[in-house]
Structure 1
């Protein structure tokens, strides 16, 4: 199994990027990892937000279409415990599927991207800055894999 992280735009805060890199490096001990950064549209005061989401969404769909299991992270998705998330990844691993973790930019993700997803999960009912969401998904993915290996990282 290979896990692909698809991010819209660059990570703004260097300290967040360091945290993301830390967990991606840790993940590399368990699975192959690849990061794809989709170009973000400029969002100014007069920007048409729907158009921005559609353009970013087309870029994402063109990248991921037909290439594995798509997991979208969205505040309106299904909430999972760390254990439940670990079991999802275990099933996907046994199925031999590549997994594409898709996180939107500041405006979120288009309906088209959400429709193409096999799973839509939520980190929380709260809204987080996209940089923080990236870090949280990387950490939770690492946590899930340590749970599956029975390693002591996760304390429940």
Structure 2
């Protein structure tokens, strides 16, 4: 299984990017990981918030194949413990398809992305800055693999 992370826009804070890269490097030990950065849309007179999310959503949904698994990270999604997330990841490893995870831009994900996602998960009921959400997601992926392998990181 290959893991694909879809981020809308670049990571703004260099210190967050350093942390994200640290966990991406660690994840390579468990599974190939690829980051896809979708160019964000700009709001203006011709582009309201819904249209921005729709256009970004189209870019996101263009990436995975129909048989791949898509997880949408959204504050309205299901919250899980690290162990539950590891169990979900374990079940996904049984398929030969790729796993895609989408994190929206400042306005979030479109309704279409949420409808087409196989799972909608939430990191918190609180709204997190996108850079921080990215860091938490890659850390939780790493943590999930260490849980599945019985490695001491999770302790």
Same fold at TM > 0.5: yes
Return 5+ residue gaps in structure 2 as ranges: none
SS in 2 for 1:76: strand
2:59 maps to 59
How many equivalent pairs are there? 155
For the structure 1 residues 44 and 19, does the alpha-carbon distance in structure 2 shift closer, same or farther, using more than 3 Å as the test?
farther
- CA deviation after TM superposition for structure 1 residue 47, in Å: 4.9
Task: Tell me how far apart the structure 2 counterparts of residues 53 and 9 of structure 1 sit (CA, whole Å).
Answer: 13
Does the residue aligned with 2:41 lie in a helix, a strand or coil?
coil
1:20 maps to what in 2? 20
Q: Distance in 1 between matches of 2:65 and 2:51?
A: 20
Q: Say which SS state the counterpart of residue 75 (structure 2) adopts.
A: strand
Q: What is residue 96 of structure 2 aligned with on the other side?
A: 96
* Aligned partner of residue 70 in structure 2, secondary structure: strand
Structure-2 separation of matches of 1:46 and 1:70 = 30
Tell me, what secondary structure is at the counterpart of 1:23?
helix
Task: Report the Cα distance in structure 2 between the residues aligned to 1:85 and 1:62, rounded to whole angstroms.
Answer: 25
CA separation in 2, counterparts of 1:5 and 1:87?
Answer: 19
Distance in 2 of aligned mates of 1:108 and 1:45 = 19
Deviation at 1:114, TM superposition (A): 0.5
What TM-score do you get using the length of structure 1 for normalisation?
A: 0.95
TM-score normalized by the length of structure 2:
0.96
Instruction: Give the match for residue 121 of structure 1.
Output: 121
Going from structure 1 to structure 2, the CA distance change for 1:46 and 1:15 (only over 3 Å counts) comes to: farther
> Which stretches of structure 1, 4 residues or more, deviate above 2 A after TM superposition?
43-47
Q: For 2:152, what is the secondary structure of its paired residue?
A: coil
Tell me, yes or no, if structure 1 residue 11 matches structure 2 residue 4: no
Aligned counterpart, 1:152: 152
